[in-house]
Amino acid sequence: MIGTIHALLTGKKLSATELTRSYLDAIDRERELNCYISLTPEVALKSAEAVDLKLARSEPLQALEGVPFALKDNISTSGLLTTCASNMLEGYIPAYDAFVWERLKAQNAVLLGKANMDEFAMGSTCETSRIGAARNPHRRDYVAGGSSGGSASAVAGNLAAYSLGSDTGGSVRQPASFCGLTGLKPTYGAVSRYGLIAYASSLDQIGVITQNAEDCGTVFSAIAGFDERDMTSKKAAFAAPLERPLRIGIAHEFLDGASPDVEKAINEALKIYEKTGCEIVPVTFPLLKYALPVYYILACAEASSNLGRYDGLRYGPSAEHYGDLDDGISKIRSERFGAEVQRRILLGTYVLSSGYFDAYYKKAQNLKAAITSQLAGDILGSCDMLLTPTVPTTALKIGAGLSPVETYLTDICTVTVNITGLPALSVPCGFSNGLPIGMQLIGSPWRDYQLLDAAAKFERETDGAFLTRLDGGVRL
Amino acid sequence: MKYEMVIGLETHIELSTNSKLFCSCKAKFGEEPNTNVCPVCLGHPGVLPSLNRAAVEYTVQAGLSVGCDIAPLSKMDRKHYFYPDLPKAWQTSQLYAPLCIGGRVELASGRVIRMNHIHLEEDAGKLIHERGRIYIDYNRGGVPLMELVSEPDLRSADEAVEYLEILQGIMRNIGVSDCRMQEGSMRCDVNISLRPEGAEKLGIRAEIKNLNSFTAVRAAIACEYERQADILDGGGIVVQETRGFDGKTTSSLRDKENSDDYRYFPEPDIIPVALTNADVERLTAKLPELPRVREARYIADLGISPKDAAQLSKYRRVAEFFEAGGGNKTAANLILTQMFSRVSTEVERELWDVPFPAAALKELIALIDSGKLARNNAKTVLGIMLETGEAAEAIANREGLLSTGEAIDLAAAIAEAIAANPGAVSDYKAGKTKAAQAIIGAVMKSTKGKAKPDELREAVERALAV
């Protein structure tokens, strides 16, 4: 997709401005998908003009120049609304740019708008957004997933050529899986988090959602890199793609809760890999069962801390009628945070409270170390990558009304990757009732490109049969 | 009943690094409110901290100067509470793995006060109450601060103040802080409990927060002693709590039951701080001589009196000026009398902004030692040097104060003075040896101060003895 656009632009078949306008028009026609919180046409057209000027001067274009995309609404854009889909940040306009937006802006990437998401990236369906759920372009009464639901919906609906999301427990991979897209959660530290509005700092990572593996690699290479403003970002040491046949690990624990259709698609995918000469290595992951509680303890603990700054005193709306200062802070937080955000702040506050810290947070940290050692050490020591479902099911119907715990359980396959800091990729591998199924490839740190390479191989073997090519939006 | 005080201090010292702890904003006191701020120190959504390595090194140097062990791996933690001066709703501090561990401060009595640890943290902004409204100045928000926590080894207000003065002297000398209590760059919390004299078991303590002068420390301790002693005398139990001090009395801020739960947890945005042996060696090598060591050397090697040595070694710039200015008794005298009366406040002595370099003092002393300039006249010359910064010899020449080398007829001058002062002569003979000073003064006057004082005294005494 990105390559096609690049060829059309450099071949002067299409101007960047025309392309941008057709995306903006398509977004306007497809408002039903609800994938954008705010649009940024001036910024988009300004970048497009700069690209057209370069084309007129026959200057070469970089890969993402003139390519229209969407940024999740929790990525800071100076002068442009950034609300995290929350009433708490209604009208908030940041004073600075996130690292990834700096990078892409420097490449004249065309920012179409800020994508819909679950409030503060907390949710798995995008239904906690203040503007409601983004719709799944495959079946519009189904969710696009979460929390980066808007980012996935826009790409699947051809309302952006690619998008950036953030992935704290699966928030890039799960919507990619639900929408039949490729979604990369990079190695922790590969992409600077500077300007990503934090949910859970030790787990958050900015990720990429695209229509195929090649696009994903193109975008990833544009945003990966060391940033001295993020102490957890690292100088990349990516492993080169493997020349020999892959050894793909399969752990039955990941399949235990999977729906029959998902299990079938995973087994089909394994067969395809086997056919190409890959070796399938059965492994066991007994500690997987602790991943969800560990995730929810750590994520909520950090969230309760990170979201403390929203007190209505410096930016965003303020409480109108209140007694003393504490009352004002309580009021604005009670009024403006949604139920799921409040639930996670309360959970996190509880587990960090004196007397409970050792029982929850400390225990979770110990388990995190054990899980990491089992997954990154034992399992990935015996194979090149692990293949799992991305989600045990396909997308849920909008308004399905699962309880919080039922919703949390759907994150079982994805959260482990965030706890361990590993790279993982969701790759489309099947359909069930018109809804896509995704498989997840998990690799050792800095093997992000090996995962992308394995996904590209799968696309070739299956002739792109599982890639999303929907009507509507911008068709090239 | 008489009680023994048991006191431990938590001393907060702002580091004088150029920039703040987590961003590149200037860490400067007293500028226009909210001018040294950026998205990072204002805690805007999405920002991340980058730890200022200089602040780490300053804290390590502070630790080394009081004999702490330096942690090879230390970590930052978040301490949470809601307050408008704290824009992230947490203070980045260190609870679980501070930079410096242990340490000791020795009082003049020889008593050793053990340190528990020193940790690094960020300062908060400042609330300004004006016209019934509250304004917030975030310039101070994110300024690096170290907290030096002592063991409960102090036993009196005097010891507490002495301990603080020693810390202040050390930190100023090694250049990590200006430690100005009046500006808030040094402040302290006092933990105090009482126990019957001779008892082993510690009493229940109260913590008095945020004392910002030595006077306040002394007064708060005296107050708190009275309060706790009254409670104990009446058979009551002291409540463990945090108290404030308004200059007259201490009053409860919050008790243990209602104390904040800070929900500390490891700061995920800051990677652990690693310090190698080589780092520690390099920082040790960079440390200047500490005031105590300097003081001892002045007494032992330079023959300076203990009182003068203490004064000279207190301020690093004064000490350096003294040493470069000759490092002898004459230099000490000139600095501590004439120069100190001119450069009189603590801050001025700290800055030691004098109009001439130490080498000029050395030249002045050379004139005195060579006999070209009498001591009395040297004072005149130094007075002018302090005004204009001119060189000693030029001034002495202009004022006609230099001995020309021509012989003074000392005997004649003395005889003249004795004849002119019969009263002083008879006083002297009656045993008032001080009366000789009148004769000496008269000779000095008639010789325009060119007589060498030692020689003159001897000659006058000889003449009077006849």
The percent of residues above 90 in pLDDT, for chain B, comes to 70
Give the minimum alpha-carbon distance from B30 to chain A in angstroms, rounded to a whole number: 22
For residue B46, give the nearest of A76, A200, A231 by CB distance: A76
Instruction: State the DSSP string of A171-191.
Output: TTHHHHHHTT-EEEEPPTTSS
Selected residue of B40, B52, B77, B263 to mutate for chain A interface (largest A Cβ count, 10 A): B263
Contact between chains at B46 and A304 (C-beta distance less than 8 A): no
d(CA A129, CA A34): 10
DSSP letter assigned to residue B335 = I
Nearest chain B residue to A189 by CA: give it: B269
pLDDT at A30: 97
Handedness of CA B139, B142, B144, B145 (dihedral sign): positive
Give the minimum alpha-carbon distance from A350 to chain B in angstroms, rounded to a whole number: 9
Residues on chain A touching B261 (C-beta within 8 angstroms): 353-354
B90 contact A CB<8A? yes
Give all strands (DSSP E) within A300-434, no chain letters.
385-389, 424-432
Burial of B129 (0-12, 13-18, 19+ CB in 10 A): exposed
d(CA A426, CA A176): 7
d(CA B20, CA B55): 8
Task: Name, in order, each residue with C-beta under 8 angstroms of B348's C-beta and a sequence gap of 6 or more.
Answer: none
Contact between chains at A197 and B46 (C-beta distance less than 8 A): yes
Contact between chains at A98 and B89 (C-beta distance less than 8 A): no
Domain A2-241+426-461: which CATH number of 3.40.190.290, 3.40.50.280, 3.90.1300.10, 1.10.3720.10: 3.90.1300.10
Q: Are B163 and B191 in contact (CB under 8 A)?
A: no
pLDDT at B406: 59
Give the minimum alpha-carbon distance from B191 to chain A in angstroms, rounded to a whole number: 22
d(CA A143, CA A175): 9
Q: Which B residues in the span 26-45 are in contact with A, Cβ-Cβ below 8 Å?
A: 39, 42-45
d(CA A108, CA A103): 9
For residue A354, give the nearest of B78, B87, B261 by CB distance: B261
Residue B443 pLDDT exceeds 90: no
3-state secondary structure (DSSP) of residue A72 = strand
Residues on chain A touching B272 (C-beta within 8 angstroms): none
Handedness of CA B86, B92, B94, B100 (dihedral sign): negative
Please give the mean pLDDT across all residues of chain B.
92
Alpha carbon of residue B287 to chain centroid: 17
Contact between chains at B46 and A198 (C-beta distance less than 8 A): yes
Nearest chain A residue to B78 by CA: give it: A305
Contact between chains at B45 and A92 (C-beta distance less than 8 A): yes
pLDDT-derived band at B456, boundaries 50, 70, 90: confident
Selected residue of A73, A352, A419 to mutate for chain B interface (largest B Cβ count, 10 A): A352
Lowest model confidence (mean pLDDT) among A82-96, A239-253, B362-376, B391-405: B391-405
Dihedral, A89, A91, A96, A100 alpha carbons, nearest 10:
70
Instruction: State the DSSP string of B63-83.
Output: HHHTTPEEPSEE--EEEE---
Lowest model confidence (mean pLDDT) among A382-391, B191-200, B237-246, B397-406: B397-406
Residues on chain B touching A326 (C-beta within 8 angstroms): 82
d(CA B447, CA B48): 75
pLDDT-derived band at B256, boundaries 50, 70, 90: low
Residue B269 pLDDT exceeds 90: yes
Per-residue pLDDT tens for A180-213? 999 999 999 999 999 999 999 999 999 999 999 9
Contact between chains at B80 and A305 (C-beta distance less than 8 A): yes
Q: Which two tokens stand for residue A359?
A: 């029982």
Residues of A annotated as catalytic (active site), given as ranges: 72, 147, 171
Give the minimum alpha-carbon distance from B55 to chain A in angstroms, rounded to a whole number: 16
Contact between chains at A197 and B45 (C-beta distance less than 8 A): yes
Contact between chains at B269 and A231 (C-beta distance less than 8 A): yes
Nearest chain B residue to A314 by CA: give it: B87
Q: Are B175 and B151 in contact (CB under 8 A)?
A: no
Selected residue of B44, B53, B83, B273 to mutate for chain A interface (largest A Cβ count, 10 A): B44
Give all strands (DSSP E) within B368-448, no chain letters.
none
Residues on chain A touching B44 (C-beta within 8 angstroms): 76, 94-96, 315
Q: Which two tokens stand for residue A200?
A: 């859970």
Selected residue of A73, A304, A305, A329 to mutate for chain B interface (largest B Cβ count, 10 A): A305
Helix H, strand E, coil C: the string for A213-246 is HHHHHHHHHHHCCCCCCCCCCCCCCCCCCCCCCC
Contact between chains at A195 and B89 (C-beta distance less than 8 A): no
Domain with CATH 1.10.10 in chain B: 410-465
Lowest model confidence (mean pLDDT) among A109-123, A153-167, A304-318: A304-318
Residue A157 pLDDT exceeds 90: yes
How many Å is the maximal CA-CA distance in chain B?
94
d(CA B319, CA B294): 8
Q: Which B residues in the span 124-163 are in contact with A, Cβ-Cβ below 8 Å?
A: none
Arithmetic mean of pLDDT, B121-133: 92
pLDDT-derived band at B404, boundaries 50, 70, 90: low
d(CA A60, CA A79): 29
Selected residue of A229, A234, A304, A334 to mutate for chain B interface (largest B Cβ count, 10 A): A229
Q: Which B residues in the span 106-125 are in contact with A, Cβ-Cβ below 8 Å?
A: none
Residues on chain A touching B269 (C-beta within 8 angstroms): 198, 201, 230-232
Selected residue of A314, A327, A336 to mutate for chain B interface (largest B Cβ count, 10 A): A314
Residue B407 pLDDT exceeds 70: no
d(CA A357, CA A250): 35
Residues on chain B touching A309 (C-beta within 8 angstroms): 43, 45, 87-89
* Of the candidates A288, A246, A213, A285, the residue with the CA atom closest to the CA atom of residue A438: A213
Residue B383 pLDDT exceeds 80: yes
pLDDT-derived band at B405, boundaries 50, 70, 90: low
* Of the candidates B177, B184, B15, B164, the residue with the CA atom closest to the CA atom of residue B85: B184
Arithmetic mean of pLDDT, A47-54: 98
Contact between chains at B89 and A311 (C-beta distance less than 8 A): yes
- Distance set, CA A121 to CA A95, A303, A427, B9, B115 (Å): 21, 10, 22, 44, 45
Arithmetic mean of pLDDT, A412-429: 98
pLDDT-derived band at B422, boundaries 50, 70, 90: confident
Q: Which two tokens stand for residue A71?
A: 């940024």
Q: Which B residues in the span 52-81 are in contact with A, Cβ-Cβ below 8 Å?
A: 78, 80
What are the beta bridge partners of residue A438? A428
Q: Are A36 and A113 in contact (CB under 8 A)?
A: yes
Q: Which two tokens stand for residue B272?
A: 């652990």
Nearest chain A residue to B81 by CA: give it: A308
For residue A76, give the nearest of B45, B89, B268 by CB distance: B45
Give the minimum alpha-carbon distance from A71 to chain B in angstroms, rounded to a whole number: 14
- Strand-pair category, B69-70 with B100-101: antiparallel
For residue B89, give the nearest of A75, A202, A308 by CB distance: A308
Between B431 and A21, residue with greater pLDDT = A21
Other beta carbons less than 10 A from residue A162's beta carbon: 27
Fold classification of B410-465 (topology level): Arc Repressor Mutant, subunit A (1.10.10)
Burial of B460 (0-12, 13-18, 19+ CB in 10 A): buried
Residues on chain B touching A314 (C-beta within 8 angstroms): 42-43, 87
Arithmetic mean of pLDDT, B111-122: 98
Q: Are A266 and A429 in contact (CB under 8 A)?
A: yes
Chain A residues bordering chain B (beta-carbon distance below 8 Å): 74-76, 82, 84, 89, 92, 94-96, 98, 193-198, 200-202, 228-232, 301-302, 304-305, 308-309, 311, 313-315, 325-326, 329, 349, 352-354, 357, 361
Task: Name, in order, each residue with C-beta under 8 angstroms of B391's C-beta and a sequence gap of 6 or more.
Answer: B356, B360, B363, B385
pLDDT-derived band at B257, boundaries 50, 70, 90: low
**A441: part of which helix (H) or strand (E)?**
strand A435-443
pLDDT-derived band at B277, boundaries 50, 70, 90: very high
Residues on chain B touching A95 (C-beta within 8 angstroms): 39, 44
Contact between chains at A352 and B271 (C-beta distance less than 8 A): no
What are the beta bridge partners of residue A68? A110
